[in-house]
Amino acid sequence: MTQSNYVVDPMISAKSIAARVEVLACEITEHFTGTDKLIVVGLLRGSFVFIADLVRELDLPVEVDFLETSSYGNSLESSREVRILKDIRGEIEGRDVLVVEDIVDTGHTLNHVLHLLKSRNPNRLEVCALLDKPSRREVDITATWIGFEIPDEFVVGYGIDYAQLNRNLDHIGKVRFV
* Active-site annotation holds for 152: no
CB-CB contact of 12 with 171 (8 Å):
yes
* CA nearest to 103, candidates 127, 84, 122, 75: 127
The residues, any chain, with a CB within 8 Å of residue 56's CB and separated by 6 or more, are none
Query: How far apart, in Å, do the first and last CA atoms of the chain sit?
Result: 12
Strand partners, 156: 173
Q: Which of 53, 96, 102, 105 is catalytic?
A: 105
Q: Would you say 133 and 117 are in contact if contact means Cβ atoms under 8 Å apart?
A: no
Give Cα separations from 104 to 6, 35, 119 (angstroms).
23, 26, 21
10 vs 16, 21, 127, 157, CA distance in Å? 12, 18, 26, 9
- Cα 127 to the chain's mean position, in Å? 9
Any idea which residues carry the catalytic annotation? Answer: 105
